[in-house]
Structure 1
Amino acid sequence: MSNSVPGTEGYAEDAAALVARWRNVSFEDVHRSVLHLIAKSPSRILDLGAGMGRDAAALAAMGHSVVAVEPVNELRAAAIGLYPTRNVIWLDDSLPELTAVTQRALSFNTVLITAVWMHLDESQRQRAMNVVSGLLEEEGHLIMSLRHGPVPAGRRMFDISASETIDLAEAYGLALALNTTTQSVQQSNRSMGISWTWLAFRKDR
């Protein structure tokens, strides 16, 4: 599917290098500012744009049942090889429609969108927020990060503000629970001036 999904440009070609780089960064370091929002007891979690599987595997090790979505075949194959576990279901699917996920008629306590939202244009973001809201259980959390900084050559990215995202989420019944900005945990990204806004929303209706 990856060849037909806008926003995945460059990831298949760079998959090996990306996997090697991402393995050097822990789930806990990346998500430190939002870890307290992830349920302590076993729950269903949807990991969108799951890459090479580090986050899905960490969540599964915490006892959660994870549906991991990754449209880039090379990254998904690497994930399955690196982190074999029965607690993760891997799907070839993508935002904004999430056709394969919605066909399963599941709901989730947490939806995690790490380093993905910047690949969606305005129309796609509106459709994606509607779909994601519909997948969340009442009182469930959407956790997401927004990237700020220079765009790598050959990639498709948009610089998206926190205020725009908050307004969009609220329009679909998601109330702001957290808004914080952090530096990148990767030194190479910090040196290029890349930072992240972390947002979390709670489904109220």
Structure 2
Amino acid sequence: MNSETDSARLNAMVSTAGYGEAAEALAEQYESVAFSEVHREVLHLFPSRPSSVLDVGAGSGRDAAALAARGHRVVAAEPTAELRALGLRLHAGQEIEWVDDALPELPELTSQERRFDLILLTAVWMHLDEGQRTSAMACLVSLLESKGRVILSLRHGPVPAGRRMFLLSAEETISLARSNGLVVVHEARREDPHGRPGVAWTYLGFQLDVAIAGQPAVPYVG
């Protein structure tokens, strides 16, 4: 194992502190709300035809399974071993490629030079500190196909005990995305789908700006 992989694993352990011990309860919580409800604000941003999708921080596999059922080729990146095991068991009937990988570098997928039409980050971004977010955004862009999209959610509200989270704004995230060649295609705020008091979410959709490469920007058809 090289130093880059060692560093990535250490970052993942810090960012996901508390998730392994609570994996069973978390999986039950995640699976209690349907994919279509969690992502109702951004459903129109998902490709309408079979595409390559990366689910970063896939958790129990709820989203990965729903996307695979829609015909997409899904890679589920989840650094917490307990959640990966639960995801494999809960969604054993779905064609999902599970990988042990994590932001900010996603070293496994990056080393394979993988490319995706859509990258999904559900309740992930708030676990990264400022420096990690800078590295992570560049990493995500490097994994996108031409006109590829990134959909992510930002958590607002109190931080649960024992968890590592940062309070983030949509403005900061949009600015970082733009500096990496992404354009905003959607922004919406909503209440917590799990009904937790004081918790809300901002959903952001970004698309790789092909105009940067000297080509005219065209609508994404999926």
| TM-score between both structures, scaled by the size of structure 1 | 0.95
Structure 2 alignment gaps of length 5 or more: 1-8, 211-222
Structure 1's 96 and 52: CA in aligned 2 closer, same or farther, altered over 3 A? Answer: same
Structure-2 residue corresponding to 1:198: 203
The separation in 2 between residues aligned to 1:177 and 1:136, in whole angstroms, is 16
**Deviation (angstroms), 1:156:** 0.2
The separation in 2 between residues aligned to 1:128 and 1:74, in whole angstroms, is 23
The separation in 1 between residues aligned to 2:86 and 2:10, in whole angstroms, is 14
The partner residue of 1:90 within 86, 89, 98 is 98
Matched, 1:154 2:159: no
Which amino acid letter does the alignment assign opposite residue 179 of structure 1?
E
Which amino acid letter does the alignment assign opposite residue 57 of structure 2?
G
What is the RMSD of the two structures over their aligned residues, measured on CA atoms? Answer: 1.3
Which amino acid letter does the alignment assign opposite residue 76 of structure 2?
A
Structure-2 residue corresponding to 1:165: 173
Matched, 1:106 2:122: no
Which amino acid letter does the alignment assign opposite residue 15 of structure 1?
A
> How many residues are paired up?
202
Contact 2:12 2:103 in 1 (8 A): no
Structure 1's 15 and 3: CA in aligned 2 closer, same or farther, altered over 3 A? Answer: farther
Which amino acid letter does the alignment assign opposite residue 62 of structure 1?
R
The separation in 1 between residues aligned to 2:186 and 2:26, in whole angstroms, is 29
Matched, 1:134 2:109: no
Contact 2:69 2:94 in 1 (8 A): no
Which amino acid letter does the alignment assign opposite residue 75 of structure 2?
V
Which amino acid letter does the alignment assign opposite residue 75 of structure 1?
L
User: Runs of 4+ in structure 1 displaced over 3 angstroms?
Assistant: 1-4
| TM-score between both structures, scaled by the size of structure 2 | 0.88
Which amino acid letter does the alignment assign opposite residue 91 of structure 1?
V
The partner residue of 2:36 within 22, 28, 39 is 28
**Deviation (angstroms), 1:87:** 2.5
The partner residue of 1:123 within 112, 117, 131 is 131
Contact 1:50 1:68 in 2 (8 A): yes
Q: Which is worse superposed, 112-121 or 16-25?
A: 16-25
Which amino acid letter does the alignment assign opposite residue 9 of structure 1?
A
Contact 1:148 1:159 in 2 (8 A): yes
Matched, 1:11 2:6: no
